[in-house]
Structure 1
Amino acid sequence: MKTNSFLVLSLIAVWLFFLLGSVFCNDYKTFNKLVLPSSVSGPQSAAFDRAGEGPYVTVADGRILKWKGPATGFVDFAYTSPNRTKKLCDGTNDLDLGPICGRPLALSFNYKTSDIYITDAFFGLLVVGFNGGLATQLSGGYKYLYGVDVESFTGNVYMTDASLTYDIRNLAQPGLNPDSTGRLLKYDPRTQRVTVLLSALAGVGGPTVSSDRKYVLVPEYVTKKIQRYWLQGPTKGTNDVFMTVFGSPNNVKRAASDGEFWVAVENPPQGLRVNGSAIVLQTVPLTQFLSVTVDVAQEMNDALYVGSSHTDFVGVYTK
Structure 2
Amino acid sequence: MARSEALLARRYVAIGGRGPEDVVADARGRVLTGVEDGRILRLDGLLDPGSARVETLADTGGRPLGLELLPDNALLVCDAERGLLRVDLGDGSVRVLADSVAGEPLRFCSNVVALSDGSTYFTVSSRRYPLGQWLGDIVEHTGTGRLLRLAPDSGTPEVLLEGLQFANGLAPGAAESFLVIAETGAHRLTRYWLTGPEAGRGEPFAENLPGMPDNIWRAGPGGPIWVALVGPRVPPLDLLHRAPDAVRHTAARIAVHAPYRPTGTIGAVAVDDEGHVVHHLVARRSPFRMVTGVCEAAGHLVLGSLRERGVALCEPPAPK
Q: Do both proteins adopt the same fold according to a TM-score greater than 0.5, normalized to the shorter chain?
A: yes
Contact 1:35 1:73 in 2 (8 A): no
Note the C-alpha offset of 1:178: 3.8
2:134 aligns to what SS in structure 1? helix
Distance 1:301 1:256 in 2: 16
Contact 2:24 2:217 in 1 (8 A): no
Contact 1:255 1:273 in 2 (8 A): no
Note the C-alpha offset of 1:205: 1.1
Note the C-alpha offset of 1:79: 1.1
Note the C-alpha offset of 1:249: 1.1
2:255 is matched with: none
Q: TM-score, normalised by structure 2?
A: 0.78
Distance 1:282 1:243 in 2: 13
Q: How does 1:220-259 map to 2 (within 5 A)?
A: 220-244=183-207, 245-255=209-219, 258=222
1:74 is matched with: 54
Contact 1:221 1:248 in 2 (8 A): yes
Uncovered stretches (5+) of structure 2, i.e. residues with no partner: 100-104, 233-264
Note if 1:110 corresponds to 2:87: no
Q: 1:296 aligns with which of 284, 293, 298?
A: 293
Distance 1:106 1:217 in 2: 14
Q: CA RMSD in A?
A: 2.4
Q: How does 1:194-205 map to 2 (within 5 A)?
A: 194-205=157-168
Q: 1:133 aligns with which of 80, 88, 92?
A: 92
Distance 2:311 2:140 in 1: 29
Contact 1:256 1:299 in 2 (8 A): no
Q: TM-score, normalised by structure 1?
A: 0.78
Alpha-carbon distance change, 299 to 175 in structure 1, aligned in 2, over 3 angstroms = closer
State how many pairs are aligned.
Answer: 273
2:78 is matched with: 119
Note the C-alpha offset of 1:146: 1.1
Q: With a CA cutoff of 8 Å and minimum separation of 6, indicate the structure with the bigger relative contact order.
A: 2
Contact 2:288 2:312 in 1 (8 A): no
Contact 1:41 1:312 in 2 (8 A): yes
Alpha-carbon distance change, 31 to 132 in structure 1, aligned in 2, over 3 angstroms = farther
Q: 1:276 aligns with which of 249, 273, 278?
A: 273
Deviations 1:81-136 (A, max 9, x none): 2xxxxxxxxxxxxxxxxxxxx1111110122x222000111110000123141311
Q: How does 1:171-182 map to 2 (within 5 A)?
A: 171=134, 177-182=140-145
Contact 2:174 2:221 in 1 (8 A): no
Uncovered stretches (5+) of structure 1, i.e. residues with no partner: 1-18, 82-101
2:224 is matched with: 260
Identical residues among aligned pairs (%): 25
Counterpart of 1:296, as a letter, is: G
Note the C-alpha offset of 1:251: 1.9
Contact 2:83 2:109 in 1 (8 A): yes
Contact 1:271 1:286 in 2 (8 A): no
1:47 aligns to what SS in structure 2? strand
Alpha-carbon distance change, 73 to 205 in structure 1, aligned in 2, over 3 angstroms = same
Alpha-carbon distance change, 201 to 174 in structure 1, aligned in 2, over 3 angstroms = closer
Note the C-alpha offset of 1:296: 1.1
